[in-house]
Amino acid sequence: TQRKNIPHLITLADLSQSQIYNLLRSAIQHKYNAKYAGKGSGEPLKGKTLALTFSKRSTRTRVATESATAYLGGTPMFLGSQDIQLGVNESLLDTAKVISSMADGIMARVGPHSDIEVLAKYSSVPIINALSDKYHPTQILADLMTMHEVFGPHPDTDSEYISHLHHPKDFLPGLKVAWIGDGNNMLHSMLVTFPKLGIHFSAATPQNYQPDADVVEIAKKEAENSGSELSFTTAPKEAVKDADVIVTDTWISMGQESEKLQRLKDFAGFQVTMSLAEQGGAKPDWKFMHCLPRKSEEVDDEVFYSPKSVVFEEAENRKWTILAVIDALLVKKSFD
Ligand code: CP
Ligand code: NVA
């Protein structure tokens, strides 16, 4: 729900197909300008501040957001849970009102998804979800950008990279992505996005680790609209059939540390390996993605450090896609 006409990025379920493509196009353009054309941003955020309220650890999201804000001429202000009054001496509601009265935007990493909803309700400036227990929208934008670079043109090899011929809508629909892992915030985020874009998607999760029913409903409706295939299974081999991309994430998300032993047992057989991909019949040139941080239980070293793995490109693309989100919300003030 969008309040006071302020646009937020809470989940990609709220954005249309063309709004998602607009963000990808913008990220591609910014990366090209900065890395390949040596152009600056024009510093549209000069004099503005983006507050980062993070209640959990972060490497990529924090570095991406701080460096993107600096590139746009603004100032990132990191407010870790040890630094501010939030959660100890002050409520989320009061914190949202106070920070938004001084900063121009808030990038928030929270525990319960309801926290990001509260922030959006009471903030007078745009809120960007930097991860909640339900969704991780900025990660999916980086995943889409990486898939575009892998299966479409790449700026290193294509001199007409930025031309209209190279719109991601020409490359993403029709790809097949297979998720092997937990029914967590990453799977939820893919479910509300990939079917909407016409990307075929299959998810293998252990029996008791299935995605939330409301998210599955959204995915089914989107798949019907776009005509993409969507399937759920508890058998990893079934899910990887004909996959262009195999993707996983940690089996133990932040906040679930006490469930570690049980989860390691329950996820037996879910490690991504070359033989899983071969036996399941993934496409010969399949690629591996992972939002990181990674543990070796969910994917072995052979896959993770192989040429099939695009995880470090994916990590870098966090910067360009978050940059596009900040540009949309704080500069253009719209996703359209
Ligand atoms: N992928 C991701 O969000 O990484 P961080 O937790 O390091 O930000
Ligand atoms: N599912 C993981 C993603 C980390 C980027 C977590 O929530 O901890």
Tens digits of per-residue pLDDT, 65-111? 999 999 999 999 999 999 999 989 999 999 999 999 999 999 999 99
**CA–CA–CA angle 231, 224, 245 (5° rounding):** 40
Domain with CATH 3.40.50.1370 in the chain: 12-135+318-332, 139-315
**Three-state DSSP class for residue 336:** coil
Cα–ligand 1 centroid distance for 297 (angstroms)? 18
Asked if pLDDT for residue 1 goes beyond 80, the answer is no
What is the reported pLDDT for 4? 58
Which residues does the annotation mark as catalytic? 291
**Structure-token match 């920070």, residue found:** 99
Assign domain 12-135+318-332 one CATH number from 3.40.50.20, 3.40.50.970, 3.30.565.10, 3.40.50.1370: 3.40.50.1370
Choice from 186, 253, 292, 314 to test ligand 1 binding pocket (greatest atom count within 8 A of CB): 292
- Asked if residue 293 has a cis previous peptide bond (ω within 30° of 0), the answer is yes
Residue 160 banded pLDDT, cuts 50, 70, 90? confident
Asked if pLDDT for residue 217 goes beyond 90, the answer is yes
Cα–ligand 2 centroid distance for 133 (angstroms)? 8
Look up residue 211 and give its amino acid: P
Q: Whose CA is nearest to atom 3 of ligand 2?
A: 253
Residue (of 186, 84, 176) closest to 135 by Cα position: 186
Kindly write down the DSSP assignment for every residue of 156-186, as one continuous string.
Answer: TT-TTTTSGGG-GGGTSTT-EEEEES-SSHH
Give the integer Cα–Cα distance in Å for 21 and 15: 10
Cα–ligand 2 centroid distance for 114 (angstroms)? 17
What is the reported pLDDT for 200? 98
Residue (of 127, 115, 130) closest to 61 by Cα position: 130
Give the integer Cα–Cα distance in Å for 136 and 147: 17
Quick check: ipTM above 0.95? yes
Choice from 62, 134, 138, 186 to test ligand 2 binding pocket (greatest atom count within 8 A of CB): 186
Q: Which atom of ligand 2 is nearest to the CA of 256?
A: 8
CATH superfamily of 139-315: Aspartate/ornithine carbamoyltransferase (3.40.50.1370)
Classify residue 40 by burial, with Cβ atoms within 10 Å: 0-12, 13-18, 19+: exposed
Q: Which atom of ligand 2 is nearest to the CA of 61?
A: 5
For 286-331, the pLDDT digits (tens) are 999 999 999 999 999 999 999 999 999 999 999 999 999 999 999 9
Q: Which atom of ligand 1 is nearest to the CA of 59?
A: 7
**Structure-token match 């390949």, residue found:** 36
H-type helices in the chain, by residue range? 17-31, 60-71, 92-102, 113-122, 137-151, 185-191, 213-226, 236-239, 260-266, 274-280, 301-304, 311-326
Q: Could you tell me if 318 and 138 are in contact, meaning their C-beta atoms sit under 8 angstroms apart?
A: yes
Ligand 2: residues whose CB is within 6 Å?
A: 131, 184-186, 249-250, 253-254, 291
Ligand 1: residues whose CB is within 6 Å?
A: 58-61, 131, 139, 291-293
Q: Which atom of ligand 2 is nearest to the CA of 139?
A: 5
Query: Quick one: which ligand is closest to 181's CA?
Result: 2
